[in-house]
Chain A
Amino acid sequence: MPELGYFAPDEYLKPNSIEEVVNLLQRYGDKARIVAGGTALYELAKRGMIPQVKKMIDLEYLNLRYVRSDEEGIKIGCMVKIYELANSPILDIHPYYSIKEAALNIRPVQIRNMATVGGEICSAIPFLDLPTVFLALDAKLRIIGPKGERKIDMDGFYFDYFLTSLGNGEFVIEVMIPKLPDKTGSAFLKFERTAVDLPLVNVGVSLMNKNGECKNVRIALGGGRTHVRIKSLERALEGKRFNDKILDDIVQSLSDEFKPISSAHASTEYKLEIAKILLRDALLIAYKRSQGD
């Protein structure tokens, strides 16, 4: 980690095209930082964590503020503000509704009005809500860089706290959520100390209901060192019918798979207990929704 120090950028750039952004990112490397909503960057700056940043690159003029639906699925531009996501009628359809739930529960309203989808994803702070939902819905990221465009699964995007797989000169321009089959239900739950705090842990779940059996199970959790998918639990639930015993087993085996980081707010053990309860509830909600309720 670089040394702490005052944040003293010398230039605030407002590029008008994607190529320009790539060029700037390549030219300045670590000295440049992208400003989306600016909220996470401000907190880092105030804590003295980014003294090396000299160029701020604002993406506001790139026309990346859209939520649309086409035959591939739902596409969300990285500069969409959280409140726009929370108000978007496209996300009212069932499997995608958990995105809306997560967006609506990001508090306070001032942050919803400033923070962006791209910022939530790329700041790689493991407590944020949207990455958890996106992971649970199998989202893909469209990344632009010096070598052109690449599309990656969001699973595997995060390496560690503040660390993503974005290379030099690359940035995320779009989140794509594939079309989910009928009878898919999703849910998002989180636990925070106060209404306006970052959550201690959050859980996103989606599953498809095939005549009572679970298919395409996705379980994502935030609150560890990164956002993670818990694949062993997904496999354990695949093809099973819901009953109390299965749920208990799944929830109990979470202890081996998920390690929340302890903080001044709560210990690892406490967060893990909360995660188990949230996971159980989220699975039940998703299952209920998959039946079409």
Chain B
Amino acid sequence: MIKLSRKITLNVNGKNYEVLCEAGENLRDVLREKLGFLGVKKGCDFGGCGACTVIIDDNAVYSCMTWAYKAEGKKITTIEGLSSGRPLHPVQEAFIALSASQCGYCTPGIVMSALALLNKNPKPSFEEIKEALAGNMCRCTGYVRYIKAIVNACKNLKKFE
């Protein structure tokens, strides 16, 4: 049987990458294994844990459930593109300051979810933060520090812009 692979152009963190993809491949595998963005984690592989969260066109999505071909022509942001050479992003800084991670596996996903929230709503309420993190699982810390870190990050957002 012939397998039709096609070269697609993915815009990741503001840069265009040409990559050979098969129809049934998901975005996470392409980002991790073909383009080397290892900040996109593989967790449950079923759209439940949120470790693979990336931002596509301002919306947080699960990259495991996104077909690679569907992401063609859209703006993809991964954790690697957050500070893009500049000092750390306020969300990252706030996470470090509060040690808001333990094993760290879920952290990139949570930072991306937090960023998608803050981009739309720079002053979220406690409930809104909880809602935004509902799709990210952390089995170590219990979310309290994440939420505190996000509240702290709101205060420093302006300076970064």
- Residues of chain A having any CB pair with chain B under 8 Å: 7-12, 14, 35, 38-39, 42-43, 45-46, 56, 58, 60, 83, 107-111, 113-114, 195-196
B115 CB to closest chain A CB (Å) equals: 12
> Is A113 within 8 A of B48, CB to CB?
no
Contact (Cβ within 8 A) B134 A60: no
Chain A residues with CB under 8 Å of B61's CB are 110, 113-114
* Known A7-B24, A10-B23: A42·B2 in contact at CB below 8 Å: no
B131 interfacial by beta-carbon distance below 8 Å:
yes
B67 interfacial contact with A, CB 8 Å: yes
Q: Determine the chain A residues whose CB is within 8 A of the CB of B56 once the complex forms.
A: 113
A109, B110: Cα distance in complex, Å:
12
Q: Is the CB of A12 within 8 A of B23?
A: yes
Q: Enumerate chain A residues within 8 angstroms of B59, measured Cβ to Cβ.
A: 83, 113
Chain A residue contacts of B2, Cβ below 8 A: 10
Instruction: Flag if A60 contacts B70 (CB, 8 Å).
Output: yes
Q: Any chain A CB within 8 A of the CB of B153?
A: no
Decide: B135 and A10 in contact? CB cutoff 8 A: no
Contacts of A43 in B (CB 8 A): 46-47, 65
Q: For A14, list chain B residues within 8 Å (CB).
A: 69
Query: A279: shortest Cβ distance to chain B, in Å?
Result: 26
From A115, which residue of chain B is reached at the shortest CB distance? B65
Q: In whole angstroms, what is the CA distance A111 to B64 when docked? A: 12
Task: List chain B residues, Cβ under 8 A from A42.
Answer: 26, 47, 64-65, 67
B15 at the interface (CB under 8 A from A): no
Contact residues in A for B6 (Cβ distance below 8 Å) = 12
**Contact of A38 with B70 at beta-carbon distance under 8 Å, contacts A56-B23, A109-B131 already known:** yes
Asked if B45 is an interface residue, CB under 8 A from chain A, the answer is yes
- Rounded to whole angstroms, the CA-CA distance of A107 and B62 in the bound complex is 13
Would you call B77 an interface residue if the criterion is a C-beta within 8 Å of the partner chain's C-beta atoms? no
Which residues of A sit under 8 angstroms from B134, Cβ to Cβ?
107-109, 195-196
- Which A-chain residue is minimally distant from B131 (CB atoms)? A109
Nearest Cβ distance between residue B66 and chain A, in whole angstroms?
Answer: 7
Tell me if B149 is interfacial: C-beta within 8 Å of chain A. no
Closest CB in chain B relative to A254 CB, distance in Å: 30
**Is B3 among interface residues, defined by CB-CB distance under 8 A?**
yes
Q: Is B113 part of the binding interface, using a Cβ–Cβ cutoff of 8 Å?
A: yes
Q: Would you call B108 an interface residue if the criterion is a C-beta within 8 Å of the partner chain's C-beta atoms?
A: no
B70 near A10 (CB under 8 angstroms)? no
- Asked whether, in the complex, the Cβ of B66 is within 8 Å of the Cβ of A196, the reply is no
| In the assembled complex, B12 has its CB within 8 A of some CB on chain A | no
Distance, CA A110 to CA B114, complexed state (A): 12
What is the CA–CA distance of A131 and B50 in the complex, to the nearest angstrom?
26
A60 to chain B, nearest CB (A): 7
Task: Give residues 1-54 of B contacting A (CB, 8 Å).
Answer: 1-4, 6, 22-24, 26, 45-48, 50, 53
Interface: B147 (CB within 8 A):
no
Q: Does B91 contact A (CB under 8 A)?
A: no
B96 shortest CB reach to chain A, Å: 24
Q: Is the CB of A46 within 8 A of B50?
A: no
Whether B132 sits at the interface, judged by CB under 8 Å, is yes
With A8-B24, A109-B134, A113-B59 given, name 16 new contacts (CB 8 A).
Answer: A7-B24, A8-B3, A12-B69, A35-B70, A42-B67, A43-B47, A46-B45, A107-B131, A109-B132, A109-B135, A110-B47, A110-B50, A110-B135, A114-B62, A196-B48, A196-B135
